[in-house]
Structure 1
């Protein structure tokens, strides 16, 4: 459900970081009335905007305090809070995309909502061009490394669908590509034995809300024998399905995959 006014919503509450990033990129930042406390991009948003929620937690009263005419959320985790906003008479917009194509669709949808369709198409073109550049460079990899991406450590949770897509776009083989398509996140749980059996050559991690610690991974029985390259990926650059996952996360992952394959992105003709 979206607003029906001719100008579009004027006071938008964003409960997830990617919508904040996109609205700034579209030149619609003046319409943002409140943001998630987990917002990272753009950095100035944390200084300029009122923080009204976490990602998994939020109070309806704090959201209503900024008098929003639209509340934007992401994933089934935020759906109950959005339903509460609806019951309070506030329009909501819910995204639940899990793919890179979904990122483009989200950007276009927000462009329509704030009447910045040309800016949205330009942003989509930039994001898709970056994907094409990485995919082209990845064709020159000496081989495709086997990759395990860890999103959480207790229990082990493998990377979500868009991360799996990024790994494959960047020339890697996601050893849990099928599991990555499952949701909610608990359905992506894997065992240490399954990881060992998959024999990854590259282990990357972004522990949601925590720093990935390779030494803890290597403390697991059998993991040192994998002799896998270990790489931390900043959570803010990969765990939200927005521009940052493509402009930053994809670049980080391609760099790690290239190094695992014995080369560099630059040697393959890619310059971030």
Structure 2
């Protein structure tokens, strides 16, 4: 028997289940869910990212709770102790997102619909990869996930930057799965790596390009000199689900392509 009462502690399982036509199985969602928009109107919100209302989740009588990463380990522990089945995924790459879509679809008996969604995502990745190959040059990109302290982009973001036609200026940090391992101790290192384009996605708050440009010494960065500082909305790129592979990738490619064409 497939699970029929699912609580989603993050946005990506909600987005996937709606995309494959299995949204009726969802009985609770994260309060941070914005995709799809109708989910916020249709489903009760029972969790944040690092906290959840355990009693409210239990009252929904879920037969499966889906979460993401070690950050939700405490929530998972409490639910498991209460006898609830929990699946915590921990995928951090583009391939991981594709695999996640396929696994989640199989778990709810919708493997074919999930395969179709994953194949459409793969085709879109190939389409953008092909468009990126025709850019006049590959801009150097600094992606900032948080501003205090400075945290660079996670692995799937770095991979999508490359697919979109840019080169992440901190490739050695994208491999680090934990945010604490992607903290820049020296902001001057961004200056030294001289990105052509700065993209920011500060999870939970608006990116402020004017504040970034005003950092000491950053006026020497080509991106700052040319005004190439832009926000990528966090729901598009910081959730390891379909949004990143479609709208998030499109947003990255649009900024990278515009930068490449302006400079050549």
TM range (shorter): over 0.9
2:10 matches 1:11? no
**Superposition pairs of residues 214-233 of structure 1, within 5 angstroms:** 214-228=209-223, 229-233=228-232
CA distance in structure 2 between the aligned counterparts of 1:211 and 1:172, rounded to whole angstroms: 23
**Superposition pairs of residues 55-204 of structure 1, within 5 angstroms:** 55-190=49-184, 191-204=186-199
Q: Deviations over 1:75-125 (max 9, x none)?
A: 110122112111110001111000011111111111111100110010001
Aligned to 2:201: 206
DSSP-derived class of the 2:92 partner: coil
Q: After TM superposition, which residue ranges in structure 1, 4 or more long, deviate above 3 angstroms?
A: none
Aligned length: 258
CA distance in structure 1 between the aligned counterparts of 2:231 and 2:12, rounded to whole angstroms: 21
**Superposition pairs of residues 245-264 of structure 1, within 5 angstroms:** 245-262=244-261
Deviation (angstroms), 1:227? 3.3
CA distance in structure 2 between the aligned counterparts of 1:147 and 1:227, rounded to whole angstroms: 11
Equivalent pair of 2:133/2:165 in contact (CA under 8 Å): yes
* RMSD of Structure 2 on Structure 1 (CA): 1.1
1:37 is aligned, of 19, 31, 35, to 31
Q: TM-score, normalised to structure 2's length?
A: 0.96
Q: Deviations over 1:164-215 (max 9, x none)?
A: 0000111111011111111310110013111111110100000010011101
Q: Structure 2: give runs of 5+ residues left out of the alignment.
A: none
DSSP-derived class of the 1:178 partner: helix
Q: Deviations over 1:41-81 (max 9, x none)?
A: 11000000000000122131121121111000001101221
Deviation (angstroms), 1:231? 1.1
Q: TM-score, normalised to structure 1's length?
A: 0.93
CA distance in structure 2 between the aligned counterparts of 1:34 and 1:160, rounded to whole angstroms: 27
Equivalent pair of 2:129/2:164 in contact (CA under 8 Å): yes
CA distance in structure 1 between the aligned counterparts of 2:77 and 2:151, rounded to whole angstroms: 28
CA distance in structure 2 between the aligned counterparts of 1:96 and 1:123, rounded to whole angstroms: 20
